[in-house]
Structure 1
């Protein structure tokens, strides 16, 4: 996905084969009891990629949320002190469902308020209210949204620091696509790993393999997560072949090859944008584009029609987007050729003409 040639890279494929020969399909023991050396190897490489941070790896970004957020909310996470009056979760309304689903768990530690982070006044009001209550604010949002939008990670990091709070950012759709060593959208924008930042990164999208990572500014944080995060202690570890592929991908990230792939992705995005009309561009850096359809049935039919022509562009509808505002989601990759992008753009333009005006279910 996005830099998808990486997932077919010979280094990753050979790493998986070698890992199966070395370890078997899986080493089914909790990492608190015993673990293979490639876990430490990967975390060390990710520390370098993510601006000399301190990183823990999980089966997925969703698993990382479930591990990190309760420990953060408890006030026991080193480097992230919490007011004696507790915390307040301030969550962007468009934040990924893997966080929204945890609301019941998070409310065991503090109040949970959903705010549109596109409205600066609403965020300020929530932070001021939090200060008046004497609580520690924790802003939670995606960096790049799964439907193509973005948040101003620089301003959000600065703003919550003024209120002595923390910014917990899901950079899953920003990982690898931009920045030195593929550090991702958030760190590329910030230019440093801020002391009040907690960064979540995906190893299974543009990174090309399997899993998720949580990175912190404080070195003691990692040992606390590994001791007290329940799904690190008790759940099965990430797939060993997947971790081996992650190590191979990390080596690519730490080489000049990642820069070449990022440049190809950027070139493809710009080419597609110059070739289509009536396609929404919410964030130029993001490889995600959307075609507004409206009617859910029509969105499904449109996606199916494109598939018949040889293009996979999935329909997104409620509850991913508001009711009657369905879209067709386009994901551009570094692996696409100009010819493929041109054929797809021509199909999208023809589609846009056919759908001009509101579609009615």
Structure 2
């Protein structure tokens, strides 16, 4: 067989091209000591780099409410281990699930007024369920033309080749509602796969999407990871807070690592009758490892925070920090409830250099470049948190104003 014939069709994935564009960026960041760091958490929330002893504040942490170090959440993991006296059951969850997992899913379902499932990660939930959407198994049994937003998160993007074995897969320009409507007019069954809240700031056009759903029966799969706990009176996120009764044509996924502060993934759906399918056909969720006891215990404790008044207090602190940051540092995301702020400098080497300067001053602000951002949109991604004190935030803004803003 000739060398040329060993290449695949590369209809939905081209690793060689992706590496050619992105690996130099990652290499530059690693050479500057900005990725592959090893650090220890301090009681005050700062991190200490293992090799150098350098102490810094992580301003690229997506634990937006600081729940990943909340005493009650940590104690919840400890309590669960003491109660259950086992790390995990050691059997695929399709056969036996812990009562703790059942309780967590039931409490999530009540809290978010939806049928909720949990998985060891949002990526696992996506790999498990997205092919079942394309095939129609989770909807009406009929395959659907599946349209991926061009900037859909990698955990969704990764599933394009698998979904393409079930039904046609298309890629839409980012947030292009006209393109999507044209497809809905052309095809009787369409599923749209996208982020609800974007990792680089901004949100999906929910009004337009719900109108297309109402008019054409469009199925919506929306990953709302960056809005979980941050938005909604119960921390249900951006998408769930914009949808009244969750209908069978909407599925929301989210990471529990970000605003929620634990680990794992969550799925919200309006279907009350798909438990059997999820427990038998959603391979990565049901045929592989289950969530650990400590993990479930921390989630249970964090649900308790979401059920009480403390969530609103933490959300309020986050909004105060966002307002202060927006007053000090101009960004395109100013005024948004989303806690992501992008400082675009348009050059990967410059973004790495500026990030390194900030780290020397005690702040880790990650440089972002392709594939996280489009080429030419490189910069720094600041993630504001509720548990960052005002003096630290003031000093960060001073540094950004002096060292970064002149390049934006």
What is the TM-score normalised by the length of structure 1?
Answer: 0.91
Pairing of 1:1-361 with structure 2 (within 5 A) = 1-21=62-82, 22-51=84-113, 53-77=114-138, 80-83=139-142, 86-131=143-188, 136-277=189-330, 279-281=331-333, 284-355=336-407
Please give the alpha-carbon distance, in whole angstroms, between the structure 1 residues aligned to 2:263 and 2:280. Answer: 23
Please give the alpha-carbon distance, in whole angstroms, between the structure 1 residues aligned to 2:103 and 2:131. Answer: 27
- Shift in alpha-carbon separation, 1:150–1:282, aligned structure 2, 3 A: farther
CA contact (8 A) 2:145 2:191 kept: yes
Post-superposition shift, 1:258?
Answer: 0.7
CA contact (8 A) 1:287 1:333 kept: yes
CA contact (8 A) 1:117 1:151 kept: no
Structure 1 residues 141-190: Cα deviation after superposition (integer angstroms, max 9, x where no partner): 11110111211123212213311221111011111101121111111122
Please give the alpha-carbon distance, in whole angstroms, between the structure 2 residues aligned to 1:175 and 1:32. Answer: 27
CA contact (8 A) 1:199 1:215 kept: yes
Structure 1 counterpart SS, 2:151: coil
Structure 1 residues 287-311: Cα deviation after superposition (integer angstroms, max 9, x where no partner): 0000112111111111111111111
CA contact (8 A) 1:174 1:286 kept: yes
Structure 1 residues 198-226: Cα deviation after superposition (integer angstroms, max 9, x where no partner): 01122111111010011111111122111
Please give the alpha-carbon distance, in whole angstroms, between the structure 2 residues aligned to 1:303 and 1:54. Answer: 42
CA contact (8 A) 2:200 2:342 kept: yes
Structure 1 residues 319-346: Cα deviation after superposition (integer angstroms, max 9, x where no partner): 1212232111000001112222111111
Number of the residue aligned with 1:359 = none
Please give the alpha-carbon distance, in whole angstroms, between the structure 2 residues aligned to 1:17 and 1:27. Answer: 17
Post-superposition shift, 1:107?
Answer: 0.3
Post-superposition shift, 1:19?
Answer: 2.4
CA contact (8 A) 2:65 2:230 kept: no
CA contact (8 A) 1:58 1:212 kept: yes
Runs in 1 of length 4+ with deviation above 6 angstroms? none
CA contact (8 A) 2:279 2:286 kept: yes
CA RMSD of aligned residues (A): 1.7
